Amino acid sequence: MLYSAQLLVMDLLSVAILAIAVFALVDCLRRPAEAFTSERKLTKPIWTGILAVVAALAFIAVPPLRMNLGFLNLIAAVAAIVYLVDVRPRLAPYRRRGPRKGSGGW
pLDDT at residue 98 greater than cutoff 90 = no
- Please report the pLDDT score of residue 35 as a whole number: 94
Instruction: Please state, in angstroms and rounded to a whole number, the distance separating the CA atoms of residues 64 and 11.
Output: 9
- Mean pLDDT to the nearest integer, 80-92: 96
Each domain of the chain, given as residue ranges in start order, spans 31-88
Cα Dmax for the chain: 67
**Cα–Cα distance, 83 to 70 (Å, whole number):** 20
Average pLDDT over residues 22-40: 95
Lowest mean pLDDT segment, chosen from 9-13, 69-73, 84-88: 69-73
Given pLDDT bands bounded at 50, 70 and 90, which one contains residue 96? low
Write phi, then psi, for 39 (nearest 5 degrees). Answer: -95, 10
Q: Each residue of 22-48: b (16+ CB within 10 Å) or e?
A: bbbbebbeebeeebbeeeebeebeebb
Global pTM? 0.83
More confident residue, 44 or 105: 44
pLDDT value for 26: 97
- Residue 6 pLDDT: 86
Q: Are 73 and 61 in contact (CB under 8 A)?
A: yes
Q: Are 28 and 83 in contact (CB under 8 A)?
A: yes
